[in-house]
Amino acid sequence: MKVVLAYSGGLDTSVAIKWIQEKYDAEVITLTLDLGQEENLDTAKEKSLSLGAIKHYTMDVKKEFASDYIFPSIKANGLYEGKYPLSTALGRPLIAEKLVEVAENEDADAVAHGCTGKGNDQVRLDVSIKALNPNLRIIAPVREWGLTRDQEMQYAKEKGVPISVKKNVYSIDQNLWGRSIESGMLEDATLEPPTDAFEWVTMPEDAPDVPTYIKIGFENGLPTSIDDVEMRPLQLISKLNEIAGRNGVGIIDHIEDRLVGIKSREVYECPAATVILEAHKELEKLVLNRHQLEFKRYVDDIWSRLVYNGLWLDPLRANIDAFIDSTQTRVNGWVKIKLYKGALRVTGRSSSSSLYDFSLATYSSSSVFNQKYAEGFIEFWGLPTRVASYKAKRIAPAQERN
């Protein structure tokens, strides 16, 4: 039997190598993807092979992740429950795709991952893998074994699996679009996260005393420049992570409803995502009309829930993408943002597709809006409310009665 394991180099997936070898008498091939997690992937390769993996793959997929996963999410204003920019969720279908690709190339019987039975990632990976290749068996050692963390560490000692000394007590998952921080004292929802939980974002009180202004340019709904300097997706996101993080912007702390039904306290660092999504939504307000915006907010929410819940490959997402893409042809222009000690504020925006008409909006003498029209509008607009009110009181104003 041959198994391809999604390998991070951490305790769970390192123990999984030994467990799969023992339980299934299987050959293990490991796969590590570079999604922008800023880790030494050579170390993962060396560790994997030292534990008995017969082969290891390392793939740099940062550009693909940015262009094919993050950028569609920007157009959809991807925020789960209005707060989480889907950073981890967006990476999982790409991991599933590469797992299946390697498994097919290696003529493997199964793929494996290190997800627990309590989280969302098991769903995201399993559903995507089965959609891509239903003939591949899926092995999830941590979920199947059901060991506690202490039992897992004891097994690692018995099998000679190196246990690294962690620099903190948190469980971290990070990629180009964000950093997820869990466990330790963060599981107590009443406590403020300590400063040692954060790496990307400067604490607001320690951020620069002078505000930073940035100008983000968009073409067809996608960010293309910072301060009029054209940038490729990977470069632009990395640059904004640095700028926004330095100014204390991008910390997200909320109670999240996991797909499996558990309410979980989640803490994230998403500097670039926070800034880009706010700018994109503001530019959409300028170029889309009221009806488009109202419907798109509803569609964006469905899109975000599909991705969060592991349904990246569901045909509904492709259908929604087609609608979203049709709106983004107007989303061209720039948005100026002020960053200051953890706060973010849009201070200006411009587009050749703008629906903002100064001659209608102004209160000056140059206004072309006929204010007399408002009287008739108010009469018709308020009619259902007035009728309901006077019917409830069993009276009828003379004007309506006649």
Q: How far, CA to CA in Å, does 262 sit from each of 119, 257, 351, 359?
A: 9, 6, 43, 52
Give φ, ψ of 192 to 5 degrees. -70, 135
Tell me, yes or no, if 92 is annotated catalytic: yes
Neighbours of 325 (CB within 10 A): 14
CA pair distance 193, 196, nearest whole angstrom = 8
Q: Is the dihedral of CA 128, 280, 37, 149 positive or negative?
A: negative
Residue tagged 């999830």 (tokens): 140
Neighbours of 372 (CB within 10 A): 7
222: β partners? 219
Radius of gyration of the chain (CA): 26
CA pair distance 251, 214, nearest whole angstrom = 19
CA pair distance 71, 65, nearest whole angstrom = 9
Q: Is the dihedral of CA 34, 35, 36, 39 positive or negative?
A: negative
Asked if residues 265 and 307 have their Cβ atoms less than 8 Å apart, the reply is no
Q: Per the residue annotation, which of 8, 87, 92, 351 is the catalytic one? A: 92
343: β partners? 340
The pairing of strands 263-269 and 178-182 is antiparallel
DSSP 3-state of 369: coil
Q: How far, CA to CA in Å, does 117 sit from each of 41, 120, 141, 146, 400?
A: 26, 8, 10, 8, 64
What is the residue type of 174?
Q
Q: Per the residue annotation, which of 12, 126, 173, 300 is the catalytic one? A: 12
Distance of CA 320 to the CA centre of its chain: 17
Tell me, yes or no, if 87 is annotated catalytic: no
Q: Per the residue annotation, which of 121, 126, 173, 300 is the catalytic one? A: 121
3: β partners? 28, 110
Q: Per the residue annotation, which of 67, 171, 238, 350 is the catalytic one? A: 171
Catalytic residues: 12, 92, 121, 171
